[in-house]
Amino acid sequence: MKVTIIGTGYVGLVTGTCFAEVGHQVICVDCAADKIKLLQAGGIPIYEPGLEELVKKNTAAGRLRFTTSTKEGVEKSDVVFIAVPTPPLPDGSVDLSFIEGVAREIAASLTRYKIVVDKSTVPVKTGEKVAETIKRYSKSRVEFDVVSNPEFLREGFAVEDFLHPDRVVIGSRSQRPVQAMKELYAPFHAPIIVTDINSAELIKHAANCFLSLKISYINALSVICEAAGANIQEVANGIGMDARIGRQFLDASLGFGGSCFPKDLSAFIKISEQLGYDFALLKDVQQINAQQMDRFVKKINETLWVLKDKKIGVLGLAFKQNTDDVRMSPAIDLCQRLKKEGAHLRVHDPKAMEKAKAVLKDVTFVADMNEVADGCDALIIATEWPEFKKLDIEKARKVMTHPIMFDGRNLFDVAEMEQMGFIYKSIGR
């Protein structure tokens, strides 16, 4: 099928590339000329495992092209995806100006029937507005359908998630575009759920808020575990084996971050408010998340007493493993707080150092994770990178002024760390 993706950011690029990979003809459009130039030259603007290879392979095969022209993209395709950013506004609501702008551009280029698919995360009822806008701004009376098809990609696993989805949600007002959408997704052999547009839009916010609720629940439980002398990992394993609960997203941490959960929570609270419901439960999710970081910093303060001029090593800057993304990263937030108190930081991340350099000043970036602890008064684990489990603990113990570790991701075993002579503080254990 002939598909155009408008917006070649994280979601758009993964979507376009994976559609090309299963044999569709894809045009990726972006208004950023430098980005399109880079992609045309075989470069890639983001780090995402497996993506670069697929972009190269499908570009070479002639199934994937890049352009700055929305008109060309719309004219040459049957299905047009909108995958532009929907950033938060200061009051927590969603900035829909990019969506509206693209809807108008599509309208201006409509010459025959198209399926316009919204993939960006948007408030419920946005599809209705997009349809209204296209109708209003299209010069000809060309027919079109608007479909909602939310993405559920995790950064760091986006290609894998796109190629092997748990489910595909297709929200449509009419039957007409449904068959084509099913054909588009047929190569992925995933269950397809067809709903109305509003429900599809709601599914996305509801899913992300539920996942963040799961994390805040386990984080709240970690407080109880610490107070009661229990172990949060054992509790998570015990409840997670109930198939109705599931073990995933039950890892206690110094809090969740990233470009999705915090933004989607604020947006959904705002949307609910506008629809006349005070979603207090989700406000608690936000509050527990913020308190989790406060509690972690308090632990550091209580153990190290004065932070001024202390040397602290921080392992992890990305908001989670397998990504170079530092947006809303709890690790960066933690570094800023420690710096404010006068600590000198030695930091390392396997992938996110370059991006971190733009937001984190006056710290020492260390290329080798095993050299971060040199001369440090404490070592912190801030991101759940699996390679940190292979840290040379014995070496760290020897080179630190005193072996103290704060593990915000519970990567190590409490008894083993204490046996090695560490003062070891983790989450909920």
**Which parts of this chain interact with ligand UDX (CB under 6 A)?**
151-155, 208, 211, 215, 249-251, 253, 256-258, 260-261, 319-320, 384
335 is catalytic: no
CA distance 318 to 154: 14
CA–CA separation, 325 vs 256, rounded Å? 13
Give yes or no for a contact between 192 and 182, defined as CB atoms under 8 angstroms apart: yes
Contact 98, 84 (CB under 8 A): yes
According to the 3-state scheme, what is the secondary structure of 327-363?
CCCHHHHHHHHHHHCCCEEEEECCCCHHHHHCCCCCC
The nearer residue to ligand UDX, 261 or 268, going by C-beta atoms, is 261
Q: In angstroms, what is the minimal distance from the CB of 65 to ligand UDX?
A: 26
- Smallest gap from Cβ 271 to ligand UDX, in A, equals 17
Over its C-alpha atoms, the chain yields an Rg (Å, rounded) of 24
Q: Where are the beta strands (DSSP E) in 83-167?
A: 114-118, 144-148
Using the minimum distance from each CB to ligand UDX, give the nearer residue, 156 or 403.
156
Label residue 207 exposed, middle or buried (CB < 10 Å: 0-12, 13-18, 19+).
middle
In the block, tokens 């575009």 appear at: 177
Question: 101-115 burial by CB neighbour count: b if 16+ within 10 A, else e?
Answer: ebbbbbbebbeeebb
Cβ atoms of 92 and 28 within 8 Å: the answer is no
CB nearer ligand UDX, residue 12 or residue 257: 257
How would you label 373-402 residue by residue, b for 16+ Cβ within 10 Å and e otherwise? bbebbbbbbbbbbeebeebebeebbebbee
Q: For residues 144 and 319, which CB has a smaller minimum distance to ligand UDX in the complex?
A: 319
At its nearest, how many Å lie between ligand UDX and the CB of residue 245? 13
Shortest distance, position 279 Cβ to ligand UDX, whole Å: 18
Catalytic residue among 18, 260, 335, 376: 260
CA distance 379 to 157: 28
Residue 185 CB, nearest approach to ligand UDX (Å): 17
C-alpha–C-alpha distance, residues 80 and 1, integer Å: 11
Contact 86, 122 (CB under 8 A): yes
Q: Nearest approach, Cβ of 230 to ligand UDX (angstroms)?
A: 18
DSSP state of 371: G
Residue 338 Cβ vs ligand UDX, minimum distance, rounded to whole Å? 18
Contact 86, 48 (CB under 8 A): no
Closer CB to ligand UDX, 256 or 296, in the complex = 256
Nearer CB in complex with ligand UDX: 258/403: 258
Nearer to ligand UDX by Cβ, of 73 and 428: the residue is: 428
Q: Just list the catalytic residues.
A: 260
